[in-house]
Amino acid sequence: MPAPTPSPQPELLRNRLPTLFEVLSRRTRPPVDLFSFYIYMRDQQRSVDYLDFWLDVSQHMSLCRHYVRELRRSVLIGTPDMDKAGSKRSSAILENIGDMSHPAAGPSMYATEKEKDQDAQMSAFLREEQQAHDSPHESTGTSHPSGTFSTPQDPTSDSNSPARTVSRQDIRASAEKILYTFLLPGAEREIILPGSITQDVTTSIEEFGRDDPEVFDVAKDYVFQAMERDAFPGFLRMKALGNLIPPTLILRLIVGLLSIFGGFWAAFVLIFLDMDRLTRCWLILPFTLGVYFLASYQYSLDPVLALLGLSEYTPFSFSRIREPYIRKLLAKRSLMVLAVTALVDAALCILFILVPGKRL
């Protein structure tokens, strides 16, 4: 029995790390939301074109669903006798699709059997309609000309597709935009896919005139699996197990090393000048600062900021941690990092403050 379609709203009771599909379908909250993943793909992975391709294909799917859903409603209301509506085959497909209420366009492995069946019927209808448009002598009756169909907005729709009316030209333009932007050799934002996938998509769109969502299914699934394998684990490590980004970590490493070096230098100077232990207590400052910053670098986590519920997006720009499980996870790690910091700091301070001095 297929699992029910998950809610498009953030799941606040999730007691685990989110999946990539949940992030892409906007069911998570900061710092593991889609916006955070987009920034990560742009600034860290340097492969945001793959994510943009996924988002554009998902938007193309939403356009197709919106177009077919509104066309179906219009035909069912305006032509109750489906045999009178143009192509009987197209009309039958349109009637059997049902209400496509699933809002998220995901990879094939996450779709329920109902969603797969509806999407397949939707693609079949779009191909049938395109063939009828390319062969006008085969289409008679009162069917709507392809590309000129107009529908009212549906304010009750729970789809994330555009609220405005979608024409067939919009769908065609969307498919061509994806092809020319991401897939053709030398494209503005070309992504690297297996040659067979790129060739199949190019042939389907340019030679066969297809613009239905199934054209991009294989490419979309390939990109999803690549992001899930190569990018998403690093994103979770950075955002779910830490709250700092690489440029800030490098800065903390430099400051931490300088502070530790300064602490050791000052400690040996004070010892060999035979300064009293009260004066040597000032060593607590450089040692604490150095150990804290080095621990932050080691664990990619600023424990104080994490306990305050803050996560870094861009250098020195922070936002609230709103995913409950991530907030609890970072709080636990923060306490552990603070304990390690306090232990190492105490050991260094006790060693260099209590050791007997000897003037050289």
Q: What is the mean pLDDT of residues 269-289?
A: 93
Same domain membership, residue 320 and residue 279:
yes
Same domain membership, residue 132 and residue 29:
yes
The rounded mean pLDDT for the chain is 82
Q: Is residue 89 a part of any domain in this protein?
A: yes
Q: Is residue 208 a part of any domain in this protein?
A: yes
> Could you identify the residue written with the tokens 């304990």?
339
Same domain membership, residue 205 and residue 107:
yes
* 244, 300 contact by CB (below 8 A): yes
Helix (H, G, I), strand (E, B) or coil at 313: strand
d(CA 273, CA 291): 25
Q: What is the pLDDT of residues 296-355, one digit of tens each?
A: 999 999 999 999 999 999 898 999 999 999 999 999 999 999 999 999 999 999 999 988
Q: Is residue 12 a part of any domain in this protein?
A: no
pLDDT at 356 over 60: yes
310-314 vs 317-320, strand pairing mode: antiparallel
Name the nearest CA neighbour of 105 among 201, 21, 231.
21
Query: How buried is residue 129: exposed, middle or buried, by Cβ count under 10 Å (0-12/13-18/19+)?
Result: buried
Q: What is the mean pLDDT of residues 115-141?
A: 66
End position of a domain, from candidates 236, 271, 305? 236
Q: Is residue 198 a part of any domain in this protein?
A: yes
Same domain membership, residue 225 and residue 252:
no
Most confident of 1-10, 155-164, 270-279, 341-350: 341-350
Number of domains within the chain: 2
Same domain membership, residue 146 and residue 59:
yes
Q: What is the pLDDT of residues 64-118, one digit of tens each?
A: 888 888 877 776 565 544 444 445 555 555 555 555 555 555 666 556 666 677 7
pLDDT at 11 over 50: yes
Q: What is the pLDDT of residues 236-272, one digit of tens each?
A: 999 999 999 999 999 999 999 999 999 999 999 999 9
Same domain membership, residue 182 and residue 326:
no
End position of a domain, from candidates 236, 270, 288? 236
Same domain membership, residue 228 and residue 257:
no
Q: What percent of the chain has pLDDT over 90?
A: 58
Which is more confident, 92 or 56?
Answer: 56
d(CA 326, CA 30): 9
The pLDDT score that the predictor gives to residue 123 is 77
DSSP letters for 68-105: HHHHHHHHHHH-SSGGGSS-HHHHHHHHHH--------
The pLDDT score that the predictor gives to residue 117 is 72
Q: Is residue 360 a part of any domain in this protein?
A: no
**pLDDT tier for residue 147 given thresholds of 50, 70 and 90:** very low
Segments forming the whole domain that contains residue 193: 20-236
Which amino acid, 271? I
pLDDT at 143 over 60: no
End position of a domain, from candidates 236, 256, 289? 236
The region of weakest confidence among 4-8, 11-15, 48-52 is: 4-8
CA distances from 277 to 69, 268, 270, 354, 355 (A): 80, 13, 9, 7, 9
Q: Is residue 211 a part of any domain in this protein?
A: yes
Q: Is residue 317 a part of any domain in this protein?
A: yes
d(CA 188, CA 186): 7
* 221, 109 contact by CB (below 8 A): yes
Same domain membership, residue 281 and residue 191:
no
Which is more confident, 135 or 131?
Answer: 131
The pLDDT score that the predictor gives to residue 98 is 53
**pLDDT tier for residue 150 given thresholds of 50, 70 and 90:** very low
Q: What is the mean pLDDT of residues 48-77?
A: 86
Q: How many CB atoms lie within 10 A of CB 127?
A: 19
Q: What is the mean pLDDT of residues 9-35?
A: 87
Which is more confident, 124 or 110?
Answer: 124
- Paired residues of 311 in beta bridges: 319
Q: Is residue 268 a part of any domain in this protein?
A: yes
Same domain membership, residue 265 and residue 226:
no
Same domain membership, residue 255 and residue 185:
no
Same domain membership, residue 205 and residue 256:
no
Q: How many CB atoms lie within 10 A of CB 285?
A: 14
Same domain membership, residue 141 and residue 264:
no
* 119, 105 contact by CB (below 8 A): no
